[in-house]
Chains A and B, each alone.
Chain A
Amino acid sequence: MLPPLSTEQVIERTVREEWGRILASLVSGLNDLQLAEDCLQEAVISALDHWGKNGLPRSPSAWLITVARRKALDKLRRAQNFARKENEIAYLLELENRPLDDPMTETIPDKRLEMIFTCCHPALERKSQVALTLRTLGGLSTDEIAAAFLDKPASMQKRITRAKQQIARGGIPYEVPQDADLPERTSAVLSVLYLIFNEGYSANSGTAVLRSDLSGEAIRLTRIIAALLPNDCEAAGLLALMLLHDSRRNARVGPAGEMIALEDQNRKRWDREKIQEGVAILNETLPKQGIGPYQIQAAISAVHAQSPAWDQTDWTEIVALYELLLAMQPSPVVQVNLAVAVSYAQTPDAALTIMEKVATAAKIQTYQPYHAAMGNLLARAGRITEAKVSFENAIELSENAQEIVFLQNAARRLLH
């Protein structure tokens, strides 16, 4: 049996799980993110004391929001601009004047969707969107966010404060956008979540533990958003994509921290539960109208995830999916991926024909994976001298030590 959780652990867990929901609900009545956050923080501190003495209340989250509201009422009363805050005070008093037991067991209305649209508002810088989303919905501390992005806590604090001021001054509303704006704004939210996931997934920087937390956090938030937007196939698609990628977390890095290519990964180390869940979500989502890039990428990942071995991969299926993705997102990056799939479905020479079309694309010559793919394709086509040059280019462009080792190994293996 596991030892019982300490009060501190329960509080930490409740706060992490419920922070976004409570904060979003507070903000929707107070219209002041900073005030809401300060009050919730104070409520958490108070919870340590009360819960420590008496055990957990019937509903920890209802307890927290009630105390946070009371703190807000108290602060607003003392505030200089008391008169201007009449609406907020009236709102809080109305909540206070309910029968005694209501506040102790209330169900907190879910305003997280409104909140994430505010955090990912296009008026804010992308990095601020990410930080604010992690802070407000994820309940991560400023220090944790700073550590995850290798920023100084002070500058991360400044960034978050500035973003909050921008929301307050710019009158950015806490609401779900109008129908006409919804698809575009949703796609901005999803790209912020994907960015958070990738920050955690790429072992480029930061400590490994924090980074993996970031991916877990992105999955948790995407799960919430996908549940709140049940008709958005791309939200479900993104969740599936994250789960399928994340299923390979333990297999993609070796004992010395080195990257392991999909080809060489021990598939027994893939997380079956995550794969099953990702595939189940896809099976449910794909038949609906509303296919998009996240779903297609998830489908590609699912083909790999379900294939028992590298040489049993259904490359024809993967090529078809990349062609679909390319039609939706015409980009040289997708084309490079398509070419690699074609090299296995057909021949390396067929793939090189596709790569010729990519070679003239803007910026492709500074795109490291292009050169790595070229090295791989040329080597397999028997054009060793050219392959060597491509690998050298790729290594030249790489800024990451693990990646350089990875490329060197790939080159060594293919060129002999």
Chain B
Amino acid sequence: MQFMCLIYSAPNSGPKPGTPEFGMFMKGYGDFTQTVKADGKFVAGDALQGADTATTVSVRAGKAETIDGPFAETKEQLGGYYLLDCTDMDEALKYAAMIPSSEFGRIEVRPVMVWDT
């Protein structure tokens, strides 16, 4: 069963780039990715660029319209994601708690919809 772990954190929270803590933080992500891959749970995962780069597209009357933003729904922004293959929600939450940003941001975990065929 697949679970989407959405990583939310406030901009400028967490270790600052260039500090030793930031190095540890990045290593934490590397280690986590290695772990989920080794455990056979990893499907996909990426970091996203800042919310100020967001563009929204909508199609109305057959015509695509794009617009800048929205940049920030709340103080916390979606910064990245992992798509994990876990046996159940409990296992997914166990892994989500290992994502480094969970210490100062929050991870939203949602099961991927399975369509009856």
Contacts and interface: CB of A to CB of B under 8 A. Distances in A.
Interface of A: 43, 46, 50, 53-55, 57-58, 63, 66-67, 70-71, 73-74, 77-78, 96, 100-101, 104
Interface residues on B, range: 10 to 19
Given A50-B55, A104-B65, 10 more contacts: A43-B68, A53-B66, A57-B65, A63-B67, A67-B69, A70-B68, A70-B69, A74-B69, A77-B75, A96-B73
B94 interface: no
A66 B58 CA distance: 14
B69 A54 contact: no
A405 B42 CA distance: 88
B9 to A, nearest CB: 14
B64 A100 contact: no
* 9 tightest Cβ-Cβ pairs between the two chains A and B: A70-B69, A74-B71, A67-B68, A57-B65, A50-B66, A46-B68, A70-B71, A54-B64, A54-B66
Contacts of B51: 74
A53 B65 CA distance: 10
Nearest to B63: A55
A96 B70 contact: yes
B48 interface: no
Contact of A101 (B60, B64, B68, B75): B60
B72 interface: yes
Contacts of B73: 96
Contacts of A50: 55, 66-68
Contacts of A46: 68
Interface of B: 11, 51-52, 55, 58, 60, 63-73, 75
B117 to A, nearest CB: 31
A104 B58 contact: yes
A225 B85 CA distance: 64
Contacts of A53: 66
Given A100-B58, A101-B60, A104-B58, A74 B52 contact: yes
Given A58-B60, A101-B60, A73 B67 contact: no
B67 A57 contact: yes
7 contacts: A50-B68, A55-B63, A67-B68, A71-B69, A74-B51, A96-B70, A101-B58
A67 B54 CA distance: 11
A41 B64 CA distance: 24
B99 to A, nearest CB: 24
Contacts of A77: 11, 72, 75
Nearest to B66: A50
Contacts of A58: 60, 65
Contacts of A57: 65, 67
Given A101-B60, A104-B58, A73 B71 contact: yes
B67 A74 contact: no
- Could you say which of A66, A77, A101 has the most chain B C-beta atoms within 10 Å of its C-beta? A77
Given A100-B58, A104-B58, A74 B66 contact: no
Contacts of A70: 68-71
A71 B68 contact: yes
A352 to B, nearest CB: 70
Nearest to B69: A70
Contacts of B64: 54
A176 B109 CA distance: 51
Given A58-B60, A74-B52, A104 B71 contact: no
Contact of B65 (A43, A54, A78): A54
Nearest to A105: B60
A57 B63 CA distance: 9
